[in-house]
């Protein structure tokens, strides 16, 4: 995500109503795809990601007073998108849905049956949303801990702790199902 020009960001933050509307539309078109891609990584469902992209920009529209142009638009938008995705995950009941099929490289280990993979995916969905988001971004997406920390608005140490707790809880859940990881 590239930051918009300073004029654009200033117009968004403190421009007249007309300038603000124009700046918002420009920022939307500049960032909608990257925001959508970020949310898709968390929720893993294209239709939901689109809905949450609109929700994210709706929050951005209402929160312009809190925007600091000097800190750039990208990080701010990403934090709001992460919060929107987290709020959505809190409303979804676990074990009702499995993540949508998303094209990804074939890395599956043939020794691990599809049934075990399904159980792992379901157990992962039962994790607390804040643990799940940290593990999704840091383990599944292999993003740097710093980037995850910025998006979640927490420290790098807190990200590491959440990832550790997510993996430990997941392991216990699988062991209770008779699966020895």
Partner 1 sequence: MNEHDEDRMKKLLQQALPPVEAEPEPARDLWPAMLRRLDAKQAAPAPIFWSWFDAALLAGLAVFAIFLPASIPVFLYYL
Contact positions vs partner 1 (CB under 8 A): 25, 28-29, 32-34, 36-38, 40-41, 44, 46, 49-50, 53-55, 57-58, 61, 99, 102-105, 107-109, 112, 116-118, 120-121, 124, 135-136, 139-142, 164, 167-168, 170-171, 181
Of 7 and 141, which CB lies nearer to partner 1 in the complex structure?
141
59 to 84, 102, 153, 172: CA distances (angstroms): 9, 27, 17, 37
Within a 10 A sphere around the Cβ of 153, how many other Cβ atoms?
A: 10
Contacts of 34 (CB under 8 A, 6+ apart): 1, 74
Cβ at position 76, least distance to partner 1 in Å: 17
Of 50 and 150, which CB lies nearer to partner 1 in the complex structure?
50
Rounded to whole angstroms, the Cα distance separating 26 from 60 reads 13
Rounded (10°) angle between helices 46-62 and 73-91: 120
Of 99 and 153, which CB lies nearer to partner 1 in the complex structure?
99
64 closest CA partner among 7, 13, 10: 13
101 closest CA partner among 78, 81, 87, 118: 118
Of 43 and 152, which CB lies nearer to partner 1 in the complex structure?
43
Cβ at position 168, least distance to partner 1 in Å: 5
Cβ at position 104, least distance to partner 1 in Å: 4
Cβ at position 120, least distance to partner 1 in Å: 4
Of 71 and 102, which CB lies nearer to partner 1 in the complex structure?
102
Rounded to whole angstroms, the Cα distance separating 151 from 146 reads 9
Cβ at position 161, least distance to partner 1 in Å: 13
């Amino acid at each position: 995500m590239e930051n918009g020009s300073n004029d654009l960001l200033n117009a968004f933050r403190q421009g007249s109503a007309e300038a603000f509307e124009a700046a918002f539309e420009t920022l939307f078109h500049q960032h909608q795809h990257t925001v959508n891609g970020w949310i898709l990584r968390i929720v893993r469902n294209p239709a939901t990601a689109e809905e949450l992209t609109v929700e994210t920009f709706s929050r951005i529209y209402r929160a312009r007073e809190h925007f600091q142009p000097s800190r750039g638009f990208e990080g701010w938008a990403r934090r709001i998108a992460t919060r929107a995705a987290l709020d959505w995950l809190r409303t979804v009941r676990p074990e009702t849905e499995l993540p949508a099929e998303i094209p990804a490289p074939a890395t599956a280990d043939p020794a691990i049956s599809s049934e075990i993979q399904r159980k792992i995916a379901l157990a992962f969905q039962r994790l607390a949303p804040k643990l799940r988001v940290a593990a999704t971004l840091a383990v599944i997406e292999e993003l740097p801990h710093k980037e995850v920390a910025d998006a979640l608005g927490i420290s790098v140490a807190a990200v590491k702790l959440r990832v550790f707790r997510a993996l430990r809880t997941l392991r216990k859940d699988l062991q209770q199902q008779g699966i020895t990881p």
